[in-house]
Amino acid sequence: MFKKSHLITAHKDHNRAVPKLGLVPTMGALHNGHKSLIESSIKNNDVTVVSIFVNPTQFSPTEDLAKYPRTLEKDIELCTSLGVDIVFAPDAKEMYSSNDEVTLNPPKSMGYILEGYYRPTHFAGVLQIVLKLFNLMLSSCYHSSQTDAYSIRAYFGKKDAQQLLIVQKMVHDLYLPIEVIAMPIVRDTDSLALSSRNVYLTPTQRQQALALPRAILRIEHLIVQENIRDIETLKAEANSILQGLQIDYMDFYTHNLTLAKEYGTREARKCIFLVAITIDKIRLLDNLWIE
């Protein structure tokens, strides 16, 4: 009798080299963070697809969907110069047949805290579009290949840590034949984590925002160089650096998004330090992945 695990691994049980397809899902306005995902995909796969789609279902009615930066021509130029094989830039009507589709909810324990607390419909929208993109990749591979299957890798940034963990959970829970690759955070020359939304910041706001990477890099220094791992000590340090800013959340979480200290530890190990601040309605995220 076949068990589920046999079915899932059955397609891997042959020796022929399987062509590899890399998918990099983005909302465009591409920067060096996106570029690092794209370059890694090109280096490690036979075909790279970059999707550019400002996904309406992950924005709430009060958010910045209409004014989200859109630079499609420049994005296509960058993709072409990097050697991307396919840029997939559909419009909303192509991706959504109606506003009453089947939807997918994130796990209750992961999807409605942190970003999900401030944006309760956000991760359902993310999962819906990511699953659609995965299925489009899978079905196009199926149709284009008579004899062989492609293996599909999807590239996500650790910058959006909660998104990455929830997508990984979807892949796991729904047995999706996709390998999720987690890519490190890319920072600007002043250390602010690159984000398409950074263009909203005035020069003064940007200066204020730099406290965020200062706090992250200080925590990294304390852990890596000084081996200080006491969660309360580290949080107090970050708090003092972020003083005067609106902190939406700041704490150490396990990879299941449980609070590390509720998990029964006082030490920061194998966890993620997640921080979000708001400067005049502009939300900025940053984080540190701790071994």
Compute CA distances 291 → 51, 265, 266, 272, whole Å.
Answer: 31, 14, 15, 9
Does position 48 interact with ligand AMP (CB under 6 A)? The reply is no
Query: Which one of the spans 181-189, 229-237, 256-264, 277-285 is the region binding ligand AMP (CB under 6 A)?
Result: 181-189
Residue 209 interacts with ligand AMP (CB under 6 A)?
Answer: no
Q: Which stretch binds ligand AMP (CB under 6 A): 178-186, 214-222, 235-243, 255-263?
A: 178-186
Which segment (156-164, 174-182, 219-227, 270-278) binds ligand AMP by CB under 6 A? 156-164
Alpha-carbon gap, residue 95 to 101, rounded angstroms: 11
37 touching ligand AMP, by CB under 6 A? yes
Residue nearest ligand AMP, CB atom distance: 157
Q: Does the protein bind ligand AMP through residue 159 (CB under 6 A)?
A: yes
83 Cβ contact partners less than 8 Å away, ≥ 6 residues apart: 42, 48
- Give the integer Cα–Cα distance in Å for 288 and 234: 12
Residue closer to ligand AMP by CB (options 138, 186) is: 186
Task: Give the sheet arrangement for strand 86-88, strand by strand.
Answer: 86-88, 47-52, 20-26, 151-157, 178-183
Give the binding range for ligand AMP (CB under 6 A) out of 114-122, 180-188, 202-210, 249-257. 180-188
**Site size for ligand AMP (CB under 6 A):** 16
Among 165, 193, 211, 222, binds ligand AMP (CB under 6 A): 193
The CA distance from 194 to 196, in Å, is: 7
Residue 22 or 33 with smaller CB distance to ligand AMP: 33
Sign of the torsion formed by the C-alpha atoms of 283, 30, 48 and 139: positive
Alpha-carbon torsion (151, 39, 286, 276), positive or negative: negative
Q: Is 153 in the site for ligand AMP (CB under 6 A)?
A: no
Taking the complex as a whole, the smallest distance from the CB of residue 69 to ligand AMP amounts, in Å, to 10
194 is a contact residue toward ligand AMP (CB under 6 A): yes
Q: Kindly state whether residue 195 participates in binding ligand AMP, applying the rule CB under 6 A.
A: yes
Cβ proximity to ligand AMP: between 182 and 228 the closer is 182
Active site positions, annotated: 34
CA–CA distances in Å: residue 180 to residues 123, 144, 154: 17, 22, 5
Exactly one of 23, 27, 84, 284 binds ligand AMP (CB under 6 A); that residue is 27
φ and ψ at residue 289, rounded to 5 degrees: -95, 120
Close Cβ partners of 153 (under 8 Å, ≥ 6 residues apart):
20, 21, 22, 23, 41, 44, 45, 178, 179, 180, 181
Residues that bind ligand AMP (CB under 6 A): 26-27, 33-34, 37, 156-157, 159-160, 183, 185-186, 193-196
